[in-house]
Amino acid sequence: MSAPRTIALLIFQLSALTLFGPVAIRSDEGLNLEDDNLPEIAIIGGGIGGTTTAYYLRKLFGNKASIDLFEAKQIGGRVSTVVVNGREYESGASIIHPRNQYMVNFTKLFGLRKREGHSEKLAIYDGKKFVFTGSKFNIATMAKMFWRYGMDVYNINSWVENILDKFERVYHHLEDGIAFSTVEGLLESMDASFVDLTKKTIREVLKEDGFSDLFIDELVTAGMRVNYAQGAEVHGFVGSVSLAGALPGLFSVHGGNRLVPERVLQASQVNYLPAEVTKVSLVRDHNNNVRYDLSFQHSDLPHGAEPMSVTKQYDVVVIAAPLHKRVSDIAFSGFPKPIRYAQEEFHRTVANFALGSANISHFGNYGMGDFPTAILCNNLDLFFNSFAQNTPVDFSSERDSMESEKGSVWKVFSSTPLSEEELSQLYEVHSKTSVVDWLAYPEYTPTETLPSFVLYDQLYYVNAIEMAASAMEMSAIGGRNIAQLAFNHWHGLFDKIDEIKDAPSHETPTSDKDEKKTEL
C-alpha cells in the first residue's frame, strides 16, 4: 500500500467523468478515410502518454497506417516496479481512481483486476510530533478530522466536485473529435477559470475560497508533499488535481500498474523498437512536404556490440517523453528556428524501499499496535516526504500478512538519497534495500505561460500536458488529444481543432444503458 493511496483517508479525489466511448470516425466533407493517403508515424516514448497515443492513432488511422514506437528502457516509463526481498512493489505511479476513465477502461478492456488493499493508520508529522493521527477505521478518522479541521473537511468535497464538473467537459470534446493545439486551450475547454488556477498558488486559491490556514498547512501540504514532493506553493491547477485524488476507492492493478501501458501497446499493434532516439531532423520530400529523419540507436544489442546510429524517415513524429536535458537528450536539426518547448525544471524524487521495522521511538511514545502505518510530512524542511508500509503488487490477504519475523517493506519518499544516519532515524532495523532515483514531475510554480502541443508542422509533444499536472490520467488525456490532433491535421479537419461550438451537458451521468454502448 502506498502513501498516495493512504491520503485517500484524508478527503477528496480526482474523479472524472462519464465513460469514454469509441471515437466517432466520420466522413466529414466527403473525406474518404479508407484511402491510401496514410502517414508514417513515429512515437518517441513508451509510457502512459506514448502508449495511449499509439492506441488512439491506430483506432483513428486504421490498421494500414505504419506506426513505430521507440522506447530505450522499459514500457511504462515512470509507471514501474522494483523488486524487494523477491517481490515486486510499485516504484512510480501507484494509484488509479475508479472514475479515471481512460485508466479504468483500459483495465476493464484487458481483463486486469484490482489489487487487494489493507487497513492503514494515517498520521501527519511536522518533524517533532504527529499533528494528526487517524484510525484504521474510516469513520473514526473522519470524526477526528472534523474535530481538528471543522467544516473545511466537509466544504472541500463541494469545492472538488465543482472542479470535477468542469474537468469532465474535455472528455466530451475529445469524444466529439475535437483536439487542442495548446495546453491552455485544453484547460479552457474545461473552464476558463482553470487557466487562472495555473497563475496562483493552491494556498492562494484555497484562502480566497475561505479555507483555514490550519487545513492548508497540514492536510493540503501533506497531500502535496506525498503526491508532488512540493508544498502548498504549487500552482492551483496541479494542487486541485492533487486534492481531488484522495478519497476512498483508489486502487492499483494486481501485478503492477505497468501492465496497463504494456497491454495498451500490445493492443495498438504498432512496431515497437527498443531504441533511443538521438536526433529529429526536418527534411522535405520532392513535393516540398514536411518529413522527419529520426536518428536512433538500438538499446537491446548483444553484450559488447558497438551501438550504431540508424536513420528512418516519417511524416508525423510524436514526442512522448519529457524534453528535459536530464531526462531525454534529443537534438533537433534543420528547423528554420530553434524548437522551443517548456524549459521546466523537473523535481528529483527518491523512493527508498527496505525490509525492516520502523523506529517507533524516534516519533514518540507509541506501542507497536498504535504506531501509524503511513506517515505524511507537512514540514518542507524534513529530509523525507512520507514513510509508509507497502504491499507487493501481487498482494493477497489470504496469503500475505503485513508483518513477518523480518518486519515489513516500507517505502520512503525523499528529494535526495538518504544517508545511513537518516535511515536509522526511520528504521530500527532494515535490510534488502532498493532505491529508485528519478526525475518524476516538473517543479510546479505559478506560471503565466503554458506550452503548446505542437512543436512544428506534424511534430507533437504529449508531455506538454505535464505543465498543467502530472498523473497517469493526465498523460492518457494528453496522448488521446495528440492522436486526435494529428488525425485532424492530416485530414484537414481544421474546424475540429480548438473550436468548441456548443458546450455539452455534463450534469446527467451516463446511464447503464449508454455504458453498454461504449468501449475503448
DSSP string over 299-365:
S-PPTTPPP-EEEEEESEEEE-S---TTT---EEES-SS------PPEEEEEEEEEEEEE-HHHH-S
- What is the CA angle 102-105-111, rounded to 5? 140
**What are phi and psi for residue 70, nearest 5 degrees?**
-105, 130
pTM confidence score: 0.88
Q: Buried (b) or exposed (e) across 34-58, using 16+ Cβ within 10 A?
A: eeeebbbbbbbbbbbbbbbbbbbbb
* Alpha carbon distance 319, 42 (integer Å): 8
* Alpha carbon distance 344, 323 (integer Å): 9
Contact criterion met (CB below 8 Å) for 387 and 410: yes
DSSP string for 15-82: ---SPP-------GGG--TTSS---EEEEE--BHHHHHHHHHHHHHH-TTSEEEEE-SS-TBTTS-EE
* Alpha carbon distance 501, 323 (integer Å): 33
* Alpha carbon distance 311, 333 (integer Å): 14
Contact criterion met (CB below 8 Å) for 294 and 317: yes
- What is the CA angle 236-172-267, rounded to 5? 100
Nearest Cα neighbor of 324 from 342, 351, 339 is 342
| Residue carrying C-alpha cell 523512493 | 351
Contacts of 146 (CB under 8 A, 6+ apart): 153, 154
Residue type, 30: G
**What are phi and psi for residue 314, nearest 5 degrees?**
-140, 160
Residue type, 389: Q
Contact criterion met (CB below 8 Å) for 353 and 431: no
Nearest Cα neighbor of 157 from 252, 17, 19, 15 is 15
pLDDT of residue 87: 92
* Alpha carbon distance 165, 17 (integer Å): 8
DSSP code, position 452: B
Contact criterion met (CB below 8 Å) for 354 and 432: yes
Go through the domains of the chain in sequence order and give each one's CATH number: 1-17+38-114+150-345+444-502 (3.50.50.60)
pLDDT tens series, the chain, 520 aa: 444 444 444 433 333 322 233 333 333 333 445 556 899 999 999 999 999 999 999 999 999 999 999 999 999 999 999 999 899 999 988 888 777 889 989 999 999 999 877 778 999 999 999 999 998 888 999 999 999 999 999 999 899 889 988 988 999 999 999 999 999 999 999 999 999 999 999 999 999 999 999 999 999 999 999 999 999 999 999 999 988 776 667 889 999 999 999 999 999 999 999 999 999 999 998 888 999 999 999 887 676 677 788 999 999 999 999 987 667 789 999 999 988 776 667 888 999 999 999 999 898 877 667 889 999 999 999 999 999 999 999 988 777 666 665 678 999 999 999 999 999 999 998 888 899 998 888 999 999 899 999 999 999 999 999 999 999 999 999 999 999 999 999 999 999 999 876 544 333 333 333 333 333 4
Chain centre to alpha carbon of residue 250: 14
Neighbours of 408 (CB within 10 A): 18
DSSP code, position 8: G
Chain centre to alpha carbon of residue 411: 19
Residue 5's SS3 state is: helix
Tell me the CA distances in angstroms from 133 to 6, 259, 363, 507, one per residue in order: 12, 34, 12, 37
DSSP string for 123-171: EEE-SSSEEEE--SSHHHHHHHHHHHHTTHHHHHHHHHHHHHHHHTHHH
pLDDT of residue 433: 86
- What is the CA angle 425-145-379, rounded to 5? 35
- What is the CA angle 36-37-43, rounded to 5? 110
Radius of gyration of the chain (CA): 23
